[in-house]
């Protein structure tokens, strides 16, 4: 995946693949609804659509919306087409730019080997239907956002399924995930080394305390001397998140080290702090974990740990090639490290 491409070009590539797979059908959604589904801005989506229009794939008409340039023709699928299917549960993943880039990176690489890539959001009925059909010799499954009961439903798919998340207790399926907890530990050490004795983990809202939050509180309590650790949760949707970030900034007094987990917008959070007159990073320093490069375009730039998109794509493609050669997914138990990116001129602790 070429990081020099613009966001609009990356989105155009993602939509182009969706068109080729026949996943985009008329009537197409309006710009506002479509951009909300994809988790991108209106301008970015419009620029991507113009790119596809120049490729004669779409027709963009003012006030009349977007339509396909030509009705897609049904093509008989060749027998035993190699396919990697990414299954995920829940609504939030559709709007996460991280996964859009991961999907595009994997699809781009698999295409070189004539392996088709599709992604599908599933409800409980759909998952049961896929499980009942059993493992298919020409199909590899990637499973994301699966709760324990959903993982157990596919626990027998030992040859064809790869978890893109940590496994639930007792689940022996192979898995890969990013080492966000390792990045969190490192980020805490960095802030403590710079003299912060009060830290706050800012993440999205969840019903229960997450394992990452428990780890944060434990590491703070075990620091020598102990560090005061607290949790803050902001909404996932951007407009409510912006209002919540302003309220968060308004309650800050004294020095504070902040660790922000994606999908919290670092740009939004730092902008809210600056708007309140908080000195960044002298009074409040923000460290961002699992960020995308485009989400940290703010001055002053924070230290951050980008999501390892390319590393994810490489591991998945290697696993897919082995699956289609040997008939089984490799028994992976892999955490992909997150590399730290420091602001220019920043010193290491």
Res 46: pLDDT: 85
The encoded tokens of residue 326 equal 């040997």
pLDDT tens string 1-52: 444 467 888 888 888 888 887 777 788 888 888 887 787 888 888 888 888 8
Per-residue CA distances from 71 to 57, 74, 244 (Å): 10, 9, 45
Question: Does the structure show a pLDDT above 70 at 70?
Answer: no
User: What mean pLDDT comes out for the span 117-130?
Assistant: 91
Res 222: pLDDT: 93
Distance CA 46, CA 68 (A): 15
Question: Does the structure show a pLDDT above 80 at 165?
Answer: yes
User: What mean pLDDT comes out for the span 94-118?
Assistant: 85
Distance CA 99, CA 109 (A): 15
The residue with greater pLDDT, 293 or 305, is 305
The encoded tokens of residue 118 equal 């599709």
The residue with greater pLDDT, 90 or 333, is 333
Sorted by where each starts, the structural domains of the chain and their CATH numbers stand as 7-68 (1.10.10.10), 83-173+309-336 (3.40.50.2300), 180-306 (3.40.50.2300)
User: What mean pLDDT comes out for the span 156-179?
Assistant: 96
Mean pLDDT value across the chain: 88
Res 99: pLDDT: 81
Question: Does the structure show a pLDDT above 60 at 74?
Answer: no
The residue with greater pLDDT, 313 or 67, is 313
Res 42: pLDDT: 81
Q: Is 199 in contact with 258 (CB distance < 8 Å)? A: yes
User: What mean pLDDT comes out for the span 76-102?
Assistant: 73
Distance CA 134, CA 279 (A): 57
Q: Which of 253, 256, 255, 236 is nearest to 245 (CA)?
A: 236
Residue 330 CB neighbour total at 10 angstroms: 14
Res 5: pLDDT: 64
The encoded tokens of residue 200 equal 């706050």
Helix 42-54 to helix 31-38 angle (10° resolution) is 100
Helix 97-111 to helix 7-20 angle (10° resolution) is 60
Distance CA 184, CA 199 (A): 12
* 153, HSE (Cβ side, Cα atoms, 13 Å): 17
Res 328: pLDDT: 96
SS3 call for 117: strand
Distance CA 220, CA 239 (A): 31
- Pairing relation of β-strands 65-68 and 58-61? antiparallel
**Cis geometry, peptide bond prior to residue 27 (ω within 30 degrees of 0):** yes
pLDDT tens string 247-261: 999 999 999 999 999
Distance CA 269, CA 97 (A): 18
Q: Which of 108, 98, 84, 94 is nearest to 161 (CA)?
A: 84
| DSSP of 44-100 | HHHHHHHHHHHTTSEEEETTTEEEESSPPPP-PPPTT--EEEEEEESSGGGG-HHHH
Question: At residue 312, what are phi and psi to the nearest 5 degrees?
Answer: -60, -50
User: What mean pLDDT comes out for the span 167-176?
Assistant: 96
CA-CA-CA-CA dihedral for 233, 239, 245, 246, to nearest 10: -140
> Which residue's entry shows tokens 């797979």?
21
The encoded tokens of residue 298 equal 């703010």
Distance CA 164, CA 162 (A): 6
Find the farthest-apart pair of alpha carbons in the chain and give their distance in angstroms, rounded.
Answer: 67
């Amino acid at each position: 995946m070429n990081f020099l491409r613009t966001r609009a070009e990356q989105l155009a590539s993602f939509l182009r693949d969706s068109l080729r797979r026949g996943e985009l059908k008329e009537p197409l959604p309006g710009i506002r609804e479509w951009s909300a589904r994809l988790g991108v801005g209106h301008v970015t989506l419009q620029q991507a659509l113009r790119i596809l229009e120049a490729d004669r794939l779409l027709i963009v008409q003012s006030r009349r919306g977007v339509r396909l340039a030509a009705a897609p023709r049904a093509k008989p699928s060749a027998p035993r087409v190699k396919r990697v299917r990414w299954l995920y549960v829940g609504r939030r993943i559709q709007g996460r730019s991280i996964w859009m880039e991961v999907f595009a990176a994997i699809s781009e690489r698999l295409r070189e080997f004539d392996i088709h890539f599709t992604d599908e959001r599933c409800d409980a009925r759909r998952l049961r239907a896929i499980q009942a059909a059993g493992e298919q010799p020409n199909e590899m499954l990637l499973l994301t956002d699966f709760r324990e009961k959903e993982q157990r439903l596919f626990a027998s798919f030992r040859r064809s399924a790869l978890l893109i998340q940590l496994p639930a207790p007792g689940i022996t399926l192979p898995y890969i995930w990013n080492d966000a907890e390792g990045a969190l530990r490192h980020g805490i050490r960095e802030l403590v080394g710079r003299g912060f004795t009060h830290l706050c983990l800012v993440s999205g809202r969840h019903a229960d305390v997450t394992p990452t939050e428990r780890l944060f509180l434990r590491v703070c309590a075990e620091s020598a001397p102990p560090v005061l650790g607290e949790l803050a949760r902001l909404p996932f949707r951007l407009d409510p998140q912006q209002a919540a970030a302003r309220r968060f900034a308004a309650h800050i007094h004294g020095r504070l080290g902040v660790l922000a987990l994606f999908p919290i917008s670092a740009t939004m959070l730092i902008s809210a702090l600056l708007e309140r007159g908080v000195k960044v990073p002298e009074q409040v320093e923000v460290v961002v974990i699992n960020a995308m490069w485009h989400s940290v375009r703010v001055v002053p730039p924070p230290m951050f740990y980008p999501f390892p998109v390319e590393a994810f794509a490489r591991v998945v493609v290697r696993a897919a090639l082995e699956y289609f050669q040997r008939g089984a997914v490799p028994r992976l138990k892999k955490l992909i490290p997150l590399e730290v990116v420091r602001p220019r001129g920043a010193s290491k602790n």
